[in-house]
Amino acid sequence: MKNAFIGSAIERREDLRFLRGRGEYVDDLLPNGLVYAVILRSSVAHGRIVSIDTRAALKIPGVHAVITAKDMPPTPPIVPMRLQPLPEFKPFEQPVIAYDKVRYVGEPMAVVIADSVAIGEDALEAIDVRIESLPAVADWHDAKRDQSLLFEGPGSNRSLTFHAVRGDADAVFAKAPYTRRETLRTGRHYGLTMEPRGVMAEWDAVKGRLTISGAAKVPFFNRRILAKQIGLPEDAIDMIENDVGGGFGARGEFYPEDFLIPFAARHLDRPVKWTEDRRENLMAMNHAREAEVDVEIACTRDGKILALRGHAHVNMGAYMRTNGAVGARNIAQFMSGPYRIADVKLDVSLWMTNKTPVGTYRGPGRFETDFFRERLLDMVAQDLGIDRVAFRRKNLVAHSEMPYRLAGIAPYPHEDELDSGDYQETLDRCLMEIRWTEKSKLMGKLIDGRYHGLAIGCFIEGGAAGPKEMARVAINDDGTISVFMGSAAVGQGVETVFAQIAADALEIPMDRIRWVYHGSTSTVSDGYGAYHSRSVVMGGSALLDAANNFKAALFEEAAKRLGCKASEITLGEDKVTGAGGKSLSLADFAGLTREGAFLNKKHTYSYGAQAAHVAVDPKIGHVELIDYVVVQDAGRIINPLTLKGQVIGSLVQGLGGAFLEHLVYDDEGQLLTGSLADYLLPTASDFPNLRAFVMDKHPSPINPLGAKGAGEGGMVGAGGVIANAVANALQEFKPDLRELPLTPTRVWEMARKRVA
């Protein structure tokens, strides 16, 4: 039975309960005595709080409490950084509730606890808030002037500058035969989930225990934060992972509400639930992507890339929280992508502004930096008169160069390298699938009133963030097996792939793996969650260790009972057999359990190529995506069906960022895209022709599965490929295409002079 399930295209186990309406989300929970939290959020982007008068609100029937910063003496707790917790970020971290200033529209100022959401919303209207407005800082250009400071202590709106360095780029540029410098920008958007965030907290005063439902992504880390903030031992808090309607990097980080709702439950000694509405979701969940770069490339005249240097500026919003620095850091370290660039010097400055704070969104920093790089490469190829494909092929890191060292990053240094692969293979496969040779004849052609364009791009996707993951295997009363994972589920299909891994490791049928539990803090001793495309590599490798430890314990116990050596025990479908054919049912060992762990400090890098064929109507700015191909090598593939789903799903989100999604603010820091009527999302009919091809020719050498993280690759390359395809289609208009998203208005403006 060995290796019977790993590599098989098995349909997702979890889908059956979702399709039958049997998923259980946090808003489905209705314990006795439940009351509801509604949050008063600032309507002012930047100002000093003069007073918050809650007396009238407290008089409304059905209102149980109105919580403000005064209820948390001496000052409210701070949301700490989870990733890159540098001392420079400390002055810019967010209090769980505003107490001296407000710094973005949507910042929590008070929490109403009421018998219903409707009563709570009425009470919000009765709270009298007085704020002394201050000049708003809307973008990084304003922030750089330091005329209006979000935080007076540091004396600057710049929280940090990351530096990525490899070799001596300045020396190379001084002698380079060709250079080109460009300024490029990506718009602000975020990982909008179908299910907005939700938290329910229950306090058991007798046992001194706090149960939090709605945990996602990193429950163990969030428990550590909350325990410290609320003054409880970690083991007095259970974080329960319910079903989640999407994560995408934004859902599941520690937000102010993750303290405020448990605080309210303990304060009132009643279950308290808060469910975010869409307007809150747009203004309060982490934003992402808004960046601008001034970048320069040096090449030989025959197209060998010599060096890359530049300075990027990222709009961080009002606070540094949890994982907010990741995107900026990745822009710095990964702008070279899959290409051989010996000399790199890139600085990325993080600027605080009066906008919603940023965090990670699927492919953080990589979507942005891939657009910057791939758009620049097409410009350079045109300058040098070199075919775009040949230019990329010439500079791809070769299989023989693996592992290939990337630029070092400071501060918070981490040396990284591409682990394995043959980037030429995925490029060739992508060109074949899109029929590049045949379709290249259409480039720039006007057919039936539309201009056709093609583009190709190459990408890498980092995964497998450490340092550790945990798993546990146990025998149920009926002799089936349960698996418990520290990894969380945010839509990746982990219940299916972990069952495949466990079945192969134990050499039993997959239907004997009865349950796969994940994410909750009550099922394993420790866990690190779901981010950075890590679940299969880290969680799956921990599961292998747990399975091995489990089998060793089972064989040792069975040997004692059967009177033979452990080496003589074999494991069957539902029993263990010893010497002489004596056997025991697995049910006889019910309760036997063992944990396992996987420790890792290196990253995996899946990789691939993407190609697009578009048709652009210059009269209305409409772009039809005629064909889009993604080819990705993800090392050893556990389940090609779920992998393709991840590739296509992330691609659709990337296309949303390339064409549609844009969080727009005015100069006063007011969010203008306050509903889904303004913030446009891709629908099923927008991109009907998307194709994904997955390969497994080059396993990763850094984990026993040989797997690589692959939840983000489709998104990473989408912005650059779409931008180049549209630019290619409109080549006779000489479009000034240096910014995303490519909304119909922006595309129309690039072509309007010629159309007129």
> How far is the C-alpha of 472 from the C-alpha of 410, rounded, in Å?
37
Tokens of 622: 């409409």
Instruction: Name the residue type at position 483.
Output: V
The structure's pTM equals 0.97
Closest to 664 in 3D by CA, of 282, 335, 371: 282
Are 472 and 597 contacting, i.e. CB atoms less than 8 angstroms apart?
A: no
Tokens of 453: 């364009």
Closest to 535 in 3D by CA, of 604, 478, 587, 446: 604
What are the angstrom distances between the C-alpha of 709 and each of 204, 353, 602, 699? 40, 33, 12, 11
> How far is the C-alpha of 749 from the C-alpha of 727, rounded, in Å?
13
Are 244 and 26 contacting, i.e. CB atoms less than 8 angstroms apart?
A: no
> How far is the C-alpha of 707 from the C-alpha of 543, rounded, in Å?
13
Model pLDDT for residues 527-538, shown as the tens digit of each residue? 999 999 999 999
Model pLDDT for residues 288-335, shown as the tens digit of each residue? 999 999 999 999 999 999 999 999 999 999 999 999 999 999 999 999
> For residue 29, what pLDDT band results from cuts at 50, 70 and 90?
very high
Are 543 and 502 contacting, i.e. CB atoms less than 8 angstroms apart?
A: yes
Instruction: Name the residue type at position 135.
Output: P
Strand, coil or helix: 640? helix
What percent helix, strand, coil does the chain show, rounded to 5? 30, 30, 40
Question: CATH 3.90.1170.50: which residues of the chain?
Answer: 31-134+196-244+251-284
CA angle 589, 590, 593 (to 5 degrees): 90
Residue 640 neighbours by CB distance under 10 Å: 18
Task: Spell 152-176 as b/e; 16+ CB within 10 A means b.
Answer: eebeebbbbbbbbbbeebeebbeeb
What interhelical angle do 540-562 and 494-506 show, nearest 10?
A: 40
Beta bridge partners of 176: none
pLDDT score, position 150: 98
Are 627 and 613 contacting, i.e. CB atoms less than 8 angstroms apart?
A: yes
Closest to 287 in 3D by CA, of 712, 700, 671: 671
What is the three-state SS of 122-190?
A: HHHHHCEEEEEECCCCCCHHHHHHCCCCCCCCCCCCEEEEEEEEECCHHHHHHHCCEEEEEEEEECCEC
The mean of the pLDDT values for the chain is: 97
Model pLDDT for residues 594-604, shown as the tens digit of each residue? 999 999 999 99
Are 239 and 230 contacting, i.e. CB atoms less than 8 angstroms apart?
A: no
Q: Is the dihedral of CA 440, 446, 447, 452 positive or negative?
A: positive
Strand, coil or helix: 650? helix
Tokens of 438: 């045949």
Would you put residue 722 in left (φ > 0), alpha (ψ -120 to 50) or beta? alpha
Closest to 518 in 3D by CA, of 580, 449, 472: 472
* Helix-then-strand count for the chain, H and E: 19, 32
Tokens of 520: 């909750």
- Say if residue 487's pLDDT is above 50: yes
Looking at CATH, the fold of the domain delimited by 31-134+196-244+251-284 is given as Aldehyde Oxidoreductase; domain 3 (3.90.1170)
**Mean pLDDT score, 630-652:** 97
Question: CATH 3.30.365.10: which residues of the chain?
Answer: 15-23+465-599, 291-464+602-755
> How far is the C-alpha of 183 from the C-alpha of 292, rounded, in Å?
7
What are the angstrom distances between the C-alpha of 540 and each of 233, 487, 520, 552, 706? 30, 9, 17, 18, 10
What are the angstrom distances between the C-alpha of 196 and each of 24, 36, 285, 672? 14, 16, 9, 19
Q: How do 198-204 and 272-275 pair as beta strands? A: antiparallel
> How far is the C-alpha of 626 from the C-alpha of 614, rounded, in Å?
5
**Mean pLDDT score, 728-733:** 96
Judge residue 516's burial from the number of C-beta atoms within 10 Å of its C-beta, 0-12 exposed, 13-18 middle, 19 or more buried: buried
Share above pLDDT 90 across residues of the chain, in percent, rounded to a whole number: 98
Model pLDDT for residues 376-394, shown as the tens digit of each residue? 999 999 999 999 999 999 9
Looking at CATH, the fold of the domain delimited by 15-23+465-599 is given as Aldehyde Oxidoreductase; domain 4 (3.30.365)
Model pLDDT for residues 180-217, shown as the tens digit of each residue? 999 999 999 999 999 999 999 999 999 999 999 999 99
Question: End-to-end CA distance of the chain, in Å?
Answer: 68
pLDDT score, position 752: 84
Model pLDDT for residues 396-453, shown as the tens digit of each residue? 999 999 999 999 999 988 889 999 999 999 999 999 999 999 999 999 999 999 999 9
Tokens of 519: 């994410």
pLDDT score, position 1: 46
Q: Is the dihedral of CA 323, 324, 329, 335 positive or negative?
A: positive
Looking at CATH, the fold of the domain delimited by 291-464+602-755 is given as Aldehyde Oxidoreductase; domain 4 (3.30.365)
> For residue 607, what pLDDT band results from cuts at 50, 70 and 90?
very high
pLDDT score, position 2: 59
Model pLDDT for residues 100-112, shown as the tens digit of each residue? 999 999 999 999 9
What is the three-state SS of 323-360?
A: CCCHHHHHHHHCCCCCECCCEEEEEEEEEECCCCCECC
Would you put residue 498 in left (φ > 0), alpha (ψ -120 to 50) or beta? alpha
pLDDT score, position 593: 98
pLDDT score, position 755: 53
Are 597 and 544 contacting, i.e. CB atoms less than 8 angstroms apart?
A: no
